[in-house]
Amino acid sequence: MRRIWLIGGTSDAKNLADILVAEGFSLLATVATPEGLSFWGERPGLEVRAGRLDEAAMEGLLAQEKFLAVVDGSHPYAQQVTACAREASRRAGVPFFRLGRAATPLPAGAKVFPTAALAAEFLANTSGKIFLTVGSKELEPFAALRGAGERLTVRILPALASLEKCFALGLGPANVIAMTGPFSQATNELQLKESGAAWLVTKDGGAAGGAPEKFAAAEALGVGLVVISRPLEGDEAVDAGRIVQSLKNITGGELTAPAREDVPEQKALVPLFFDLNDGFVLLAGGGPVAARRARALLSCGVRVLMVAPELCAASKQLSGRDGFTWCARQWQESDCHGATVVLAATDDPSINGRIVQTARRLGIPVNRADSRQGNDFVFPAVVRLGSDVAALSTSSLSPARTAKLAARLRAAWPQMCRDVPLGRPLRLASRESELAMAQSRLVAERLHEATGFDVEIIPFRTRGDAVADRRLESAGGKGLFVKELERAILSGQADLAVHSLKDMPSSCPDGLAFAALMDRQTAFDCLVLRPGLTGRPVRIGTSSARRIAQGRALFSDAQFVPLRGNLRTRLSKLDGGEFDALILAEAGLRRLGLQERVSRVFSPDQMIPSAGQGTLAVQCPFDGPVFDLVSQLDEPAVRTCCLAERAFIDRLNGGCTAPHGAYARVDGETIEMIGLYVRPDGKTLSGKISGPAADGPSLAAELADRLKRRGDGL
């Protein structure tokens, strides 16, 4: 088997393909768009396919076809592609290589920013025209600049999708140069002159991406240079020569390993599982390796103190996670004091050596990421399905062999777990409020009816329940209601949890998923009047910014007063005369048998609900026996609507506490949606969209973009 999967349509990938074909390898090259097919042309020993692949599609391809290795030759800025390909390869046990590209030296005075948004923010405070060569994916923040139509000239590939995006963002033909490179320094200078540019904005695509010619043109004309820095590729990025040699080694049998006499003697390791929840792990370093270590520890509920002057993109994504703290400076010896475990993962071997010496002197177990020898412990490959956990190691002597063994075990583990009965009831984590317990009992009964399993409900008092004296936004958001329940599942205390979907953040923690979205009897808001009230309500209780923004149009003469507490507490305050009326979710009242308290139900045209309102979300580990059991409760139509509603909120960069709203309904194969966008100044805009139900999330994103553009233009 000498078949290689090569990802990407870059000149670096094409050059590597020529070498590999000459060496006798056969290749499958995949590109995102049909335009990439013409880039590759026809080559013997090379098959080319077009189409965007997410992580699931990549895993499917690796399962269907046998590859010797995966080589990621995509653009250095294609972070999502690289992350998906790396993870899919890891799961399949197929060797993964990232084709690196040398960075370009920056001229003096260049302004460098890590993201397009920050670059645009800088340019917002400058004057002069801008020549933009960052590709169509990064256009939004620049198109949002004041006077973009007069300031911007955009150079993009002559692809229909790219041109349509420019026009959708308000950039007309006069703003666009649609050309295929490469571009010489002279061509860059000519276009800079013709556009009258004071600024050139580009990425560091290396020599293959024409960066040297662009940098030189800007320097020659005295044009300001703004560079969006390249994402850190990590230590796995290697040049074409090393990839070719590694692939040759693989075809000789297994991955090459040192001769037996060169294999370092490894001391015997005792396989143990430790509870580190009462201490913390000191992790020195902020690169990709440190990020992987931190994610593994955080998923087990361990507190992590990361010490590093800067963080890579993967480490930055950990910010805000429970248990994660970043100290932005170089490691100091005093950092080790009090740590349960120490991990040395900096990019400086001398610092890693000092960390090991310090930890040993303090009697703290230590692991050094840049060395396989002399560590007190190793990081195994972990196969986890709920509370069923297996750890695999080859004592650090062969990481490639560990990866292959883990891939095989992952494939077999779900069935192995299913074949062994749980031998106990399913444990369902629930908030202890009356409404949460009622919802949990409903799910427990349905689950027992569908599967025959008994279900034990374990009540938890969450942090959200404990801060009833403050607005949720100031206390940390609605996520406060769910984190304890998620930790209970991840730590093995519970098998599943029931949530109100409207209270859930936009994504689940690693390893968890919504196995069922169900029981959406009603998604609407309702008005509950104080008994005996005559006339219109003057004091209306609600802490929802979404309800207040829409309620003002319905009750222009009313005062909206903040209100927290469980449902019974709110009704008690209403009946005690503190309020004339409350605005509540109708579903909660119905689930407690209090539907007689409903005075008026608001239609979506009057008050657009919160995304996912009225829906129960049953969360559990994404793979394994519990997921298979719970997924029997899933209601496809409810899932279709809720995914579209949450996609609308995500597109507006909102979370479960954002004031925006969305409501979708499915009629046959068609989905209809109404969305609410609330501007920072409280003004509201709404709109509708419909189309194929299978396209719900993309339709939702289109509606969100439309409302955002309208709102920003007010």
Q: Which residues are catalytic?
A: 503
Three-state DSSP state, 15: helix
Q: In angstroms, rounded to a whole number, what is the distance separating the alpha carbons of residues 244 and 238?
A: 10
SS (H, E, C) 67-115: CCEEEECCCCCCHHHHHHHHHHHHHHCCCEEEECCCCCCCCCCCEEECC
Q: For residue 239, what are its two tokens?
A: 């040049």
Residue in the block written with tokens 């010490």: 307
Rounded to whole angstroms, the Cα distance separating 13 from 43 reads: 13
d(CA 36, CA 6): 13
Inter-residue contact 587 to 614 (CB < 8 Å)? yes
Beta bridge partners of 113: 228
Tell the residue number behind the tokens 């002559």, with chain if given: 158
Q: What is the 3-state secondary structure (H, E, C) of 236-285?
A: CEECHHHHHHHHHHHHCCCCCCCCHHHCCCCCCCCCCCCCCCCCEEEEEC
Amino acid present at 461: R
Side chain identity at residue 354, one-letter code:
R
> CB of 456 within 8 A of CB of 488?
no
Place of tokens 């990590």: 234
- Alpha helices (runs of H) in 503-611, residue ranges in sequence order: 545-554, 567-575, 586-591
Rg (CA), the chain: 28
By the 10 Å C-beta count (0-12 exposed, 13-18 middle, 19+ buried), 115 is classed as middle
How far separated are the first and last CA of the chain, in Å rounded? Answer: 61
Task: Single out the residue of 147, 141, 160 nearest to residue 201, CA to CA.
Answer: 141
Maximum CA extent, the chain: 93
